[in-house]
Amino acid sequence: MKLKVLWMYHDLMDLYGDKGNIQVLKTRCEKRGIDLTVDTCTIGEIRTISDYDIFFLGGGADREQNLIYEDLLLRREGIEEAMKSGTAFLLICGGYQMFGKYYRDQDGNTVPCLSFFDYYTVASDRDHRCIGNIAVEVNMDGEHFLAVGFENHGGQTENVSFPFGSVRYGHGNTFNGKFEGFLNDQVLATYMHGPLLPKNPMIADLVVRRGLRRNYGDVSLDPLDDTLETKARTVMLERLGVSLENRQEAEKQSD
């Protein structure tokens, strides 16, 4: 099987090790004999986005978002084609924001975004920046689990029709918020850096499966040895005091 990944603005949109996500996709595919190729694309480069199975856009500070937005908006039609053709999207933080209506920065400047979705983002004041470790309870493609990551964003994202998960520790879409990210059948958009995929290999595999779906339908992937990754996630979840079970206990207590 083959998988083609397009890594957008690899040279500009890359915060807190977002590039590690690409590394994980490569490694997990290699171990399973899936032939994965990664093409990068930066400002001014021509790419047919619908040629790709996975579109990856990492996070960026306001400066980078300002640098890329004009180029990104010029690619709107190409991205729409890709959505129609079944490409899977993984969008992190600044990349997540760019698929909504707009991003308004701290100075009140509005960066127009792609408007594929109805959410929009407005920067908070300095006292309400969302920074730190985050744990999110996720239901994705029939799987229910806890994901961990690191967030650092001023942007408060409102009007999200379908979040990626419920915040169990940290902030998520808004300061002290209940929900994190955005999810639909093709798009996973999240504030979780970390980078996301090394810490959450189940998400990596869901993204790989979504990417393969375009050409191969629903495939099951050979399990890999995730002992180390699971240990790392468990350490963080224990530190944050979060488990799937204690959610139910907390709910019972508040009844």
The contact set with ligand GLN (CB under 6 A) reads 15, 59-62, 65, 93-94, 152-155
Closest approach of ligand GLN to the CB of residue 207, in Å:
19
29 is catalytic: no
List, edge to edge, every strand of the sheet that includes 143-153. Answer: 143-153, 130-140, 165-169, 179-180
Pick the catalytic residue from 29, 41, 93, 130. Answer: 93
Q: 85 in helix, strand or coil?
A: helix
Closer residue to ligand GLN in complex, CB, 52/191: 191
Closest approach of ligand GLN to the CB of residue 60, in Å:
5
Nearest to 146 by CA among 177, 130, 132, 167: 167
Closest approach of ligand GLN to the CB of residue 68, in Å:
12
Closer residue to ligand GLN in complex, CB, 94/194: 94
Closest approach of ligand GLN to the CB of residue 236, in Å:
19
Residue with tokens 């408060």: 156
93 is catalytic: yes
Closer residue to ligand GLN in complex, CB, 61/73: 61
Nearest to 232 by CA among 142, 176, 150, 137: 150
* Residue 189, burial from CB neighbour count under 10 angstroms (0-12, 13-18, 19+): buried
Closer residue to ligand GLN in complex, CB, 20/94: 94
* Cα 177 from Cα 196, distance rounded (Å): 19
Q: Which residues are catalytic?
A: 93, 193
